[in-house]
Amino acid sequence: MSTKLKRQRRVGIIGTGYYLPPRKLTNADLEKLVKTTDEWITTRTGIKERRIADDDVAVSDLAVEAAERALKKAKLKAEDVELLIVATITPDMLFPSTACMVQAKLGLTKAACFDISAACSGFIYAIATAEKFIKAGAYKNAVVVGGEKLSCITDWKDRSTCILFGDGAGACVLGPVRSGGILSTHLGSDGKSAGLLELPAGGSRMPASKETVKNRLHYLKMSGSELFKIAVRVMAGAANKAIEMAGLKCSQIDCIIPHQANIRILNAVAKKIGLGPDKVYLNIERYGNMSSASTAVALAEAVERRRIKKGDIVVLDAFGAGLTWGAIVIKW
């Protein structure tokens, strides 16, 4: 394939799917675990309930369910998949990759597989990566999954964080399209602020020990107020940059699907971009923050509910630990 043809190759999302564990954890349930109230949680976060996976369910199990549904929508057989990327910060184990476990369960015998760790921005990073592979002609198609079991790294004694997180997985299939498709991608990061959101223990810097367990260092730690200010600025900036790269104006956007972090953050981002509430897809009330799965599930759900239609201009926008952020503009 010539260089000119590679540049002209269009890559789009040809199938989406999602899966959520059946168990619901409501704010009323949390009132029995920590000192909090439904009103306090709802006012500050916009969350009413979240989904929690059973103890014997791993991220690969959630990912398989979502990927199967996306493949069905794309009308693509398992044996035809050439690339699989799983975005997660809660892998089944440190190695092998969760992607390899998903590959085995789905029977993706021809697929190259790997994980991406970019926290809440993971799904955006994974789509951007897969798109480049397909555009370059390395692969014909790709399955991208954002899956998390945040309940297993949530400190259920910490009322400032345990109210936020839930479990789930979303997936999409990327492939060549005749028109539209992904118009632009923009990624960014700031490692100097990594300490604002982290899982301190369990890696090579702080291996598991009696002390790390005693000090509850195997649960995520977050500096919420500092992150709030940064999130609004960089999410709005990422979306505006991607829209500009696509040669569009904010007024041309039909739907933005942001990472479902906090309703106050999302409202502030929409206002900063200049988009009305009717153009912002939200499901945070029902699912909470699912890290890399949030944008993935919201996208698939928006498609299922016909909130996104053929020809619409859609923006995916996320911010997460790292710090990382990214936005993608798609003509559906």
**Do residue 78 and residue 99 come from a single domain?**
yes
Q: Is 120 part of the annotated catalytic residue set?
A: yes
Looking at residue 118, its pLDDT comes to 97
Does residue 5 surpass a pLDDT of 50? no
The verdict on 122 and 16 lying in the same domain is yes
Do 235 and 248 lie in a common domain? Answer: yes
Which long-range contacts link 231-234 to residues 24+ away (Cβ below 8 Å)? 231/261, 231/262, 231/265, 231/269, 231/319, 232/265, 232/268, 232/269, 232/272, 234/188, 234/319, 234/323, 234/325
Q: Which of 141, 240, 262, 289 is catalytic?
A: 289
Helix segments in 46-85, DSSP class H: 59-74
Asked whether residue 104 carries a pLDDT value surpassing 60, the answer given is yes
**Based on the domain organization, do 175 and 151 belong to the same domain?**
yes
Closest to 16 measured CA to CA, from 322, 246, 281: 281
Name which residue leads in pLDDT, 7 or 228: 228
Whole-number percent of the chain with pLDDT over 70: 98
Catalytic residue among 113, 120, 172, 255: 120
Q: What is the pLDDT averaged over residues 273-297?
A: 96
289 is catalytic: yes
Q: Are residue 20 and residue 167 in the same domain, yes or no?
A: yes
Residues 191 and 310 in one domain: yes
Last residue within a domain, chosen from 179, 199, 233? 179
Residue 224's pLDDT band (cuts 50, 70, 90): confident
Task: Render pLDDT for 58-93 as a digit per residue (tens, 0 to 9).
Answer: 999 999 999 999 999 999 999 999 999 999 999 999
Chain mean position to CA 86: 10
Residue finishing a domain among 179, 204, 236? 179
pLDDT value at position 3? 45
pTM score of the predicted model:
0.95
Structure tokens at 317: 């926008």
Question: What single letter denotes the amino acid at residue 74?
Answer: A
Residue 65: strand, helix, or coil: helix
Q: Is the pLDDT of residue 262 over 50?
A: yes
Residues 94 and 190 in one domain: no
Residues 8, 68: Cα–Cα separation, whole Å: 30
- Residues 172 and 26 reside in one and the same domain: yes
The pLDDT confidence band at residue 4, using thresholds 50, 70 and 90, is: very low
Q: Give the pLDDT of residue 100.
A: 98
The pLDDT assigned to 7 comes to: 54
pLDDT 10s digits, 230-251: 999 999 999 999 999 999 999 9
Residues 211 and 161 reside in one and the same domain:
no
d(CA 109, CA 103): 7
Query: Number of structural domains, the chain?
Result: 2
Q: How confident is the model at residue 2 (pLDDT cuts 50, 70, 90)?
A: very low
Q: Are residues 188 and 175 in the same domain?
A: no
267 is catalytic: no
Dihedrals phi, psi of 270, to nearest 5 degrees: -60, -40
What is the structure's pLDDT at 8? Answer: 60
Contact 277, 270 (CB under 8 A): yes
Do 20 and 138 fall within a single domain? yes
Could you report the per-residue pLDDT of 151-188, keeping only the tens digit for each?
999 999 999 999 999 999 999 999 999 999 999 999 99
Same domain, 197 and 277: yes
Q: What is the CATH classification number for the domain harbouring 265?
A: 3.40.47.10
Band of pLDDT at residue 19, cut at 50, 70 and 90: very high
Q: What is the residue range of 190's domain? A: 183-331
Give every CB contact of residue 185 below 8 A, 6+ residues apart in sequence.
124, 127, 128, 131, 242, 245, 326, 327, 328, 329
- How far is 169 from 297, CA to CA, in rounded Å? 6
Q: Which of 133, 162, 179 is a domain's end point?
A: 179
Strands (E), the chain: 11-19, 24-26, 49-51, 83-87, 112-116, 142-149, 167-176, 181-189, 197-198, 221-222, 255-258, 313-320, 324-331
Res 6 pLDDT > 70: no
Average pLDDT, the chain: 95
**Separation of alpha carbons 144 and 138, rounded Å:** 16
Among candidate residues 260, 316, 319, 257, the one with its CA nearest the CA of residue 288: 260
